[in-house]
Amino acid sequence: MSKIIRIGTRDSELALWQAKIVQSQLENLGYKTQLVPVKSTGDLVLDKPLYELGITGIFTRTLDIAMLNHDIDIAVHSLKDVPTVLPKGIVQVAVLKRGNVHDTLVFKNNEEFLGSKDAVIATGSLRRRAQWLNRFPTHTVVDLRGNVNLRLQKLQDNEWNGAIFAAAGIGRIGLRPEEAINLDWMIPAPAQGAIMITALAEDDFVKTACAELNHEETSLCTSIEREFLNKLEGGCTAPIGALAIIKNEEVHFKGVLLSVDGTKRIDVTRVKKVGEHHDIANFCANFIIERGGNRLMDAIKNANKKTNVYSTKSFTEAQRLLFHEKVTVESSDFIKISLNRIHPRFLKNEIENVVITSKNAVESLITNYSAIELQFKNIYCVGRRTKKLVETKIGKVTHFENSAKKLANYLVDYMEGNSVTYFCSDLRLDDLPTILEKNNIKVTEVEAYQTKFDGIKIPETIEGVMFYSPSTVESYIAKNNTEAIAFCIGETTATEAKKHFKDVRIAKVPTVESVIELVNENYL
């Protein structure tokens, strides 16, 4: 035991207290030790919330580097601050017996504000912020950073009603006010209240020494909580809570994921016998993911990202997942569709030639009439998806093209008869009826639906806009500039876009997915 174990620690009062506990326990076992305080990035950068710094392990990275450089032999951490995946070559060698797991509310005057509509609470934790707002949605939560002493001083210096601390941290250094309240309803951070020791994987001497300090129950419970965190891909940038306790030889687990503003919350609980608990973290993480957890996590991850592409049509969840990681997209419907009542006089006899250029026209027809009532001899349409919908809901399509202009030219050359019935919108391009009428084909237009502009003003920093019809282009330009790239679903849409945009790009096939692929190519 002649080797001196150099104990790396942050130099805050709480970190030093924790390191000295480890030092005392090792020396009681006969080992020689030396404290090596190291200042971390997390202690140095106090002008931004922790989650805005954009890196996990902000309080551990400096110690990791010191260890890999062989400047220290072990590092002592608050386990809740440690990333769930350790750097290569560094391993967890012990977790000390856990302290108080709860969050604590410290207030200045009294707790009457808890029943008030208006109150101001301070915390630097997204998890605490989200859970507080979930319980007290009308309160205001402000950011609070710094060591425990500094945060307590900020509470006194500001017009806040209270601030939230980890009970273990504020208690360990003897600064917990008598009137402070444990927030038993708030699910703590994974591994909160636990002290963890890391070492180099190759250092058998210190691994053996520290193994004697390991508390098995704490190690088991915190490993479950951290696995749950890892499965949700969370760090200090997500409002995730988890707590596992052992009671009557059973592991009792509860976890939570919230939106940053606390308006959305997904909870999970699970009880398993010790020894049969190994799937508990995975089960609970999947439970949350299947109930909308993926959408919440995506929203959280993208919250601080700058939106660079805007879609003039809302996406499905499956479509959102197709975007490249460099694309941060927002979407809304820039046109609203209102289906019209189609008068029976247009359908009293079998119609020889019918033209349908959109799925909206199909929806209008099948909303008004059954497939049996729609007696069409020849159906001509624009777009593969329109064709598929027609054949599913109405009947066989005689021919389709990818643009109205191409369809018009086809009808001039190959259509039987000299008249068509065109089910269209109140807003439509003139290409198809103009070409047909010039070639002595009578066009009877039936207004099947109305298209209403519903565009919004979007940030001028947007780099690209996705368009799906000429109407979406018209709706967009009514309120926005045209400096962005126009990503268009087809040639007809691109023709309208070219009247306003310098850079117009056309998808390979006229589908939303193909437009997404076009956007992704721009950001590779």
Asked whether the CA dihedral 381, 382, 388, 390 is positive or negative, the reply is negative
* 81 among known catalytic residues: yes
d(CA 21, CA 394) in angstroms, rounded, equals 77
Q: Residue 506 pairs with which residues in a beta bridge? A: 488
Query: Following DSSP, what letter does each residue of 243-284 receive, concatenated?
Result: EEEEETTEEEEEEEEE-TTSS-EEEEEEEEETTS-TTHHHHH
* R_g over Cα of the chain: 32
Q: Which residues contact 359 (CB under 8 A, 6 or more apart)?
A: 383, 385, 386, 389
Asked whether the CA dihedral 144, 150, 155, 159 is positive or negative, the reply is negative
3-state secondary structure of 81: helix
Query: Amino acid identity of 411?
Result: L
**Angle at alpha carbon of residue 269, lines to 266 and 273, rounded to 5°:** 160
3-state secondary structure of 291: helix
Q: For the chain, how are helix, strand and coil distributed in percent, rounded to 5?
A: 35, 25, 40
Would you state the structure tokens that stand for residue 250, as one six-digit string? 């059973």
Catalytic residue (one of 43, 64, 73, 81): 81
d(CA 396, CA 436) in angstroms, rounded, equals 23
**Angle at alpha carbon of residue 299, lines to 295 and 303, rounded to 5°:** 175
Query: Following DSSP, what letter does each residue of 473-510 receive, concatenated?
Result: HHHHHTTS-S-SEEEESSHHHHHHHTTT-SSEEE-SSS
Helices (H), 397-490: 404-414, 431-438, 470-477
Q: What's the CA dihedral at 60, 63, 64, 66 to 10 degrees?
A: 160
Residue 415 burial by Cβ neighbours in a 10 Å radius (0-12, 13-18, 19+)? buried
d(CA 119, CA 100) in angstroms, rounded, equals 26
Would you state the structure tokens that stand for residue 327, as one six-digit string? 């694309």
d(CA 281, CA 321) in angstroms, rounded, equals 25
Cβ distance 255 to 242 under 8 Å? yes
Query: Amino acid identity of 235?
Result: G
Q: Please identify every residue annotated as catalytic.
A: 81
